[in-house]
Amino acid sequence: MEKIPKKTLIVEGSSWDKCVWDMTPFKPGKIFWMPKEKPGKITISRKKICLRAPCRIDVGVLDYCALRTTPTDGTPDYKAGEMSFAADKYTYVEVELLDKPEIIIDKGTKRELILRHVALLMKRATNYKGGFKIKAKSHKYRHVGFGSSAIMMEATAVAMNRLLGNPLELKDLRNLIAYNFAEESDTLEGYLVPGASTGGSFNTMYYGGFVITAAEAEMIFRMEVPEDVRFIIGIPKVKVAGPEESEVDINCLSWMRHNERFSAGKTSAWILMELLPACVQKDIKKMGQFFYNFTFFSKLIPMLLYRNDSPGIIFELKENGIEGGWMTSAGPSLVAFTQDKTKVEKAKEIFKARKFDVVVLKPCNKGISEISRIPKN
């Protein structure tokens, strides 16, 4: 058996504030956490299901000090939280139950490692003795802030759970994926590495709309987003990578942790006293103003790292009256947020002037849904 050397990443907020992330690669199916409650009885009424799950546009983590990779000691530590929207770039998953205990990934399906990881987790968590045949298809945007890895894993888990008669409660299903979250290794073929999850992508893709996830992956707020809202995404042509190689993780997280030691409480107060009232009132302009403030307050360091004038672009969006703007996840993509068709065109102009790729998305308020088959195009 190949011996894999331990690999760690130290995130340092100060000389007395250090967090060690275990980034040691592992094979699919390695388990770090299992639900304490026994699963319900498996009841199979059908053999096949196809699901469609929206992408996640992240606004930001609530407390970067609390952000962790999957704890490899089996002790969940998920207090970072997340704000995110569901939008209409979809991931499709088709799962079929097999009588034999094999896991078969369709030849045309990418992301085989994370799909196999989910299947092995689900077999262990539900005590299912059979197998799965999996086919999945996603959009082309990866490592640019759309939550592609997490949503493919989560949608696959939901499909398997439904076919088995929902033996896992929704909370346990969400936590099973969040607390065992992984990304493909950039350095070792055939291996995964622990990833950083808040559980927010599950809540967002499952319910749709705008979702706030707090500690322990709990959804504490959800709103339906007005249908005329548009997200204009600008994607710069820069190198992107997973958690092992990402310059954002390596070069920025220590600085962000240092800043956030004093700022997470302020962010929480802003959410409670500014963002949530605006959400209840469906006041997109007030929501957008919060997003601008939060972005400059919380994400300036990773925006500066990409060296493509991300802060200047956000300023330009604001100067042109566009309701909101932010960097999604750890970037590099930037988001303009508006209800005005003329401002959609203005945002596109601003991004294209910097040679960014541009995609315009609509909100998805439905969340994950069952469909007849995976579309060909």
pLDDT above 70: residue 239: no
pTM, rounded to two decimals: 0.92
Nearest to 318 by CA among 329, 334, 302, 298: 334
pLDDT above 90: residue 138: no
Tokens of 338: 């508006």
Neighbours of 240 (CB within 10 A): 21
Q: Quote the pLDDT of residue 318.
A: 97
Residue 223, burial from CB neighbour count under 10 angstroms (0-12, 13-18, 19+):
middle
CB 313 within 8 A of CB 354: yes
Which residue type, as a one-letter code, is found at position 98? L
Would residue 173 be called left, alpha or beta, if left means φ above 0 and alpha means ψ between -120 and 50 degrees?
Answer: alpha
| Angle at 63 (CA atoms; ends 336, 70), nearest 5 degrees | 105
Tokens of 358: 């541009």
Tokens of 67: 């952000």
> Model confidence over 257-277: pLDDT tens digits?
776 666 778 888 999 999 999
> Model confidence over 188-204: pLDDT tens digits?
999 999 988 899 999 99
Domains in the chain, start-ordered, CATH in brackets?
8-224+365-370 (3.30.230.10), 230-361 (3.30.70.890)
List phi, psi (to 5°) of 42: -75, 125
